[in-house]
Amino acid sequence: MNIDIIGAGIGGLTTAIALEQKGIKTRIFEQAEQIKEVGAGIILANNAMQVYDKLGLRKIIEENGNPISSMNITKSNLKPLSKIDLSYFEQKHNTKNIAIHRGKLQKILIDKLKPTEINLNNKLTSIVKSENGYELNFENGKQIQSSTVIGADGLNSVVRQKLFPNNSIRNANQICWRGVTEYELPINFRNELNEAWGKAERFGFVQIAENKVYWYALKSFKKNANEFSINNIEQYFGDYNLVIKDIIKSTKKEHINTAEISDLKPTDIWFKDNVCLIGDSAHATTPNIGQGACQAIEDAFVLSECLHKYEITKAFSEYQKLRLPKAHQVVKASWLVGKMAHLKNPILIGLRNQMLRLTPTSVNRKQNDLIFQLAEI
Ligand SMILES: Cc1cc2nc3c(=O)[nH]c(=O)nc-3n(C[C@H](O)[C@H](O)[C@H](O)COP(=O)(O)OP(=O)(O)OC[C@H]3O[C@@H](n4cnc5c(N)ncnc54)[C@H](O)[C@@H]3O)c2cc1C
């Protein structure tokens, strides 16, 4: 069986690794001229690390990243409102949550894939059913025939737009800045993710390697993202804890990445005949619970198991059955957390903070238990 994968993001690369390990040959087609290092970090939660453990990548990811044993929501002065202790899940699944530079993760995945064909500078423009499967056309004029296609081409997926047109992208009306900086965090923050919630804004930071900190900051906008400028970022977070102000100050402005936050309104059809969607192309989520890539990584694992076990149509149908409910749950929970984090009304903020303080550990644990549990196949 040969499978063509559109997109060499975390989802596409992990799927190719998982399929190759099952003896299924893949070719990847990626629009970018080169796989560029994104100047940001990523948190690979326990569920993603369980998959990378199965794929033989856990050790190298751990060596290149930094373990995170607690996820905290705090006030702008970094006083905790809620703390999720991850050590329970570390013991339960024998894997840690790892924060890592995206560039390092990409390199680890690509190195593992050698000698799989990664065709760069191949932007898919159309996919049409043909006599022998599918005809794929690329912007560079190339045309290929393919028997089976996996669309791993992200939020604005061409595969999805061409074959599954009934879906919509939702703008969360939040602008997000991301940066990586050389910074020596106080020792108590080194194995924690801290996210400080303010008024319609928040700031998160985490160590990704020795003296390297990845941070992200979000603000709600009314009409469009131009209401805010990167030049004023220090001012926006001027009344936050000194550590946060120092992190921003230590980052070169030209290295800060700016994006608007969107997701895909949950959609119930992820496959049609011999074409299937994975990752953000199937279920893009807002980043509020740090699960977008983790869900793409789970897709890769489940889909490869299904393709190993069943013929194509049954494999795609089983994959959707196993993955869709959880992926949608993540999209919905994440959207809600985004709304809660960006409340503006001081009374509602006070109530929310009180609720966060009073939520029992057992409730937080139960929610994360569901997210960190992989599907049984
Ligand atoms: C601010 C922010 C923070 C985040 N933090 C986390 C986190 O801590 N943990 C986490 O798990 N997730 C996080 N996420 C989510 C995560 O980044 C995504 O869910 C994940 O990258 C999705 O992977 P993917 O491979 O499905 O899609 P993508 O990463 O979007 O990859 C798609 C690939 O397809 C290529 N492509 C697109 N169109 C075409 C085409 N027509 N032809 C050929 N190639 C094409 C693209 O160039 C790209 O390489 C975050 C997201 C944001 C925005």
Ligand 1 centroid, distance to 345 Cα (angstroms)? 33
Q: Which of 35-39, 184-188, 220-224, 310-314 is least confident?
A: 35-39
Calculate mean pLDDT across residues 186-205. Answer: 98
How far is Cα 353 from Cα 162, in angstroms, rounded to an integer? 44
What pLDDT is attached to residue 1? Answer: 72
- Answer yes or no: is the C-beta of 12 below 6 A from any ligand 1 atom: yes
Ligand 1 centroid, distance to 323 Cα (angstroms)? 18
What pLDDT is attached to residue 166? Answer: 87
Ligand 1 centroid, distance to 357 Cα (angstroms)? 33
**What is the band of 308 on the pLDDT scale with cuts at 50, 70, 90?**
very high
Question: What six digits make up the tokens of 102?
Answer: 């995206």
**What domains does the chain contain, in order, with CATH numbers?**
2-169+263-372 (3.50.50.60)
Ligand 1 site-directed mutation target among 30, 139, 169, most atoms within 8 Å of CB: 30
Q: How many residues does the chain have?
A: 377
- Answer yes or no: is the C-beta of 10 below 6 A from any ligand 1 atom: yes
For the CA of 295, the closest atom of ligand 1 is 11
Whether 38 has a pLDDT exceeding 80, the answer reads no
- Answer yes or no: is the C-beta of 124 below 6 A from any ligand 1 atom: yes
How far is Cα 114 from Cα 152, in angstroms, rounded to an integer? 19
Atom 24, ligand 1: which residue's CA is nearest? 11
Ligand 1 centroid, distance to 13 Cα (angstroms)? 11
Mean of per-residue pLDDT scores for the chain = 96
Ligand 1 centroid, distance to 293 Cα (angstroms)? 7
Whether 42 has a pLDDT exceeding 90, the answer reads yes
- Answer yes or no: is the C-beta of 7 below 6 A from any ligand 1 atom: yes
Is 253 or 244 the better-scoring residue by pLDDT?
Answer: 244
Ligand 1 centroid, distance to 156 Cα (angstroms)? 10
